[in-house]
Amino acid sequence: MVRTTGVGLHSGTKVELTLRPAAVDTGIVFRRVDLEPVVEFHSKADIVGDTRMASVLVHDNARVSTVEHLMSACAGLGIDNLYVDVTAEEIPIMDGSASSFVFLLQQAGVQEQAAAKKFIRVLEPVEVRQGSGSNEKWARLTPYDGFRLDFFIEFNHPAVDGTMQRACVDFGKVSYVHDVARARTFGFMQDVESLRGMGLARGGSLENAIVMDEYRILNADGLRYEDEFVRHKILDAIGDLYLVGSPLLASYEAHKSGHGLNNLLLRELLAHPESYEIVTFDEEARAPVSYGAQMEREWALT
């Protein structure tokens, strides 16, 4: 078990987070321990009830917000079963990336359980689209023996457009901890007032986000990756997609996607049972590199 305290990015509320081990086939379960009785949120695509600037789980008129960074860390480290106890409605933002959650999980350690890991293997392409012309956004899943993400962003902002706007990450070849986990969320000063009027971004600061004015990045330390903006979108997508309940064996491609479109993609996948299958591997050597030797390398980094 491991515990930390932080503030919610959108609520600005102080929250205590506790990570506890869970039995086989539990999944990732968020628990609002500040409520009586305690409300549990099992990570599933169909309980995502709000996607404005975050993925929000909704159950029994209660919410747990901004789950994507912690879910991303769990996916990146191969964590299948975990209880996440929180004392408020939002997961703490920490430094705006997944690296703090990676550190907490590595501190707690991992225990191999007596059950085969379950995967969702995509068998047929699944795609969702919104908008048209220059405003079109889309995301798709296609069959792939592993897990790969290819993401394109476009913000029409000099600080963002001056960096690489497309990134492709194949976890058979690169490390989640080194190549994705440290990418921070980002925002624009001109949007702060309107977001706070909507009850969002109340806990945002230069300590937990990349912040930009109309022309430049305001953080004194600059970027952690030369393509940190698009890498953070990949980090978010990994967390959003893990809400399907099992790791995916698929290639994910996205053009200006976000939490809402990622969730619609999962719902579209689940609505077509012929497009996927649940698989396990009796021997590690038969599993894709993304989930075999690669996971051993991630934990060797502790």
In tens, the pLDDT along 188-228 reads: 877 665 655 666 556 667 888 898 888 889 899 999 999 99
Domains annotated for the chain, with CATH where assigned, are 2-108 (3.30.230.20), 119-300 (3.30.1700.10)
Q: What residues act catalytically? A: 259
Average per-residue pLDDT in the chain?
90
Strand, coil or helix: what is 46? helix
- Classify burial at 226, counting beta carbons within 10 Å of its beta carbon; exposed 0-12, middle 13-18, buried 19 or more: exposed
Q: Is the pLDDT of residue 7 over 80?
A: yes
Which residues make Cβ contacts (< 8 Å) with residue 249, sequence separation at least 6?
A: 119, 120, 121, 122, 144, 145, 146, 147, 279, 288, 290
Alpha carbon separation from 257 to 21, 117, 280 (Å, rounded) = 32, 29, 30
Q: Rounded distance, CA 154 to CA 160, Å?
A: 8
Residue 135 is encoded by which pair of tokens? 């405003």
At residue 295, the pLDDT reads 59
Neighbour count for residue 100 (Cβ, 10 Å)? 22
**pLDDT tens across 83-118, in order?**
999 999 999 999 999 999 999 999 998 898 999 999
**pLDDT at res. 289:** 73
pLDDT in tens, 123-144: 999 999 999 888 899 999 999 9
- 161 band by pLDDT with thresholds 50, 70 and 90: confident
Tell me how far apart the alpha carbons of residues 81 and 60 are, in angstroms, rounded to a whole number. 22
pTM for this prediction? 0.92
Q: What is the model's pLDDT at position 297?
A: 59
Token pair 């705006």 is found at: 96
